[in-house]
Amino acid sequence: MLKLGLIGYPVGHSLSPWIHNQLMDKAGLKGSYELMEIQPEDFDHRIQALKEMNLDGFNVTIPYKEKIINYLDEIDEAAEHLGAVNTVKLENGRWIGYNTDGIGYLKSIQNRFPHVELSTRKILVLGSGGAARGIIFALAEAGCKEIDVANRTVGKAEELIKELEASLSATAIDLEQASQNIKDYDFIIQTTSVGMNPNPENQIIKLEQLNERAIVSDIVYRPMETQFLRAAQAKGASIQFGHEMLLHQAVYSFQIWTGKKVDVTDMLTDFEAVLK
């Protein structure tokens, strides 16, 4: 019996139990995936108690992706570089931390657009928070070089680029510049919370000059079809929904815990129904 779960605060609306129950089913494994809501002031003793519970692994969500690092016995290189962990595996009594957010995003794009060579694309990332970090790191690992990062607070975009630097030729710009130069980009990734319920009418930048050959993705998944994606689609661009990233990062976590790689192509329709 697999024992899995999620820690965070709040976790009540999480879709992870649904996803991981499906993954267990598909992999022919029996087990449970529990939501474990931890109040910030209880974190330390709840984590100590978790160590006694003998879980096979768990996911970590807001606000604990950084804090959990202090409690690990080992951390994967990418997660260490990002300074954030969303997946913990118990191995021989030791906790090992990973981050599957960026790689999950990359996989969801490769799945939807298998013939697109991302590394030669001129990319625009909107936002400079934790989600943007993971995605930019994964894009850099995949060989992407030309990435502009636009953020409301440009200084945060500059900082993020400096930290992730590596082989990137990245530039920090403001949202106005991003909107004005939008026709120059082949691939645009919206990583902020703008447009999320309860403000689905908000759109982070204008897409009037968008190139119709562009791919536009939004990591917001509630609502599934954001105003940003609707505007992109109206311009003739190809679009990618946020819930696909969610599904693929879960697939990677599941693979870390069980060694089983589950094909989720036929899960998408059911997942969309759950989201509605």
Q: State the residues that interact with ligand ATR by CB under 6 A.
A: 127-132, 151-153, 156, 191-194, 204
The smaller minimum CB distance to ligand ATR, of residues 203 and 253, is found at 203
**Least distance in Å: CB of 232 to ligand ATR?**
17
The smaller minimum CB distance to ligand ATR, of residues 129 and 236, is found at 129
**Least distance in Å: CB of 128 to ligand ATR?**
4
The smaller minimum CB distance to ligand ATR, of residues 23 and 220, is found at 220
- Residues 6+ away with beta carbon under 8 Å from 43: 64, 67
User: Strand 31-37 to strand 2-8: parallel, antiparallel, or no bridges (unpaired)?
Assistant: parallel
Residue 230, judged by CB atoms within 10 A of its CB (0-12, 13-18, 19+), counts as middle
Q: Which residue has the tokens 């919206």?
A: 190
Neighbours of 168 (CB within 10 A): 17
**Least distance in Å: CB of 100 to ligand ATR?**
15
Residues 65, 89, 107, 183: which is the catalytic one? 65
**Least distance in Å: CB of 153 to ligand ATR?**
3
* Angle of helix 243-258 versus helix 16-27 axis, rounded to 10: 50
- Residues 6+ away with beta carbon under 8 Å from 251: 23, 104, 107, 261, 262, 264
**Least distance in Å: CB of 155 to ligand ATR?**
9
Q: Tokens standing for 43?
A: 């974190």
The smaller minimum CB distance to ligand ATR, of residues 23 and 135, is found at 135
The smaller minimum CB distance to ligand ATR, of residues 56 and 163, is found at 163
Active site (annotated) includes residue 65: yes
Helix, strand, or coil (residue 213): coil
Helix, strand, or coil (residue 173): strand
H/E element, 160:
helix 154-164
At 187, give phi and psi (nearest 5°).
-145, 120
| Chain centre distance of CA 205 | 21
Q: Tokens standing for 249?
A: 């990062």
Q: How far apart are CA 187 and CA 136, in angstroms?
A: 13
**Least distance in Å: CB of 65 to ligand ATR?**
8
Helices (H) and strands (E) in the chain, counts: 10, 12
The smaller minimum CB distance to ligand ATR, of residues 193 and 255, is found at 193
Residues labelled catalytic? 65
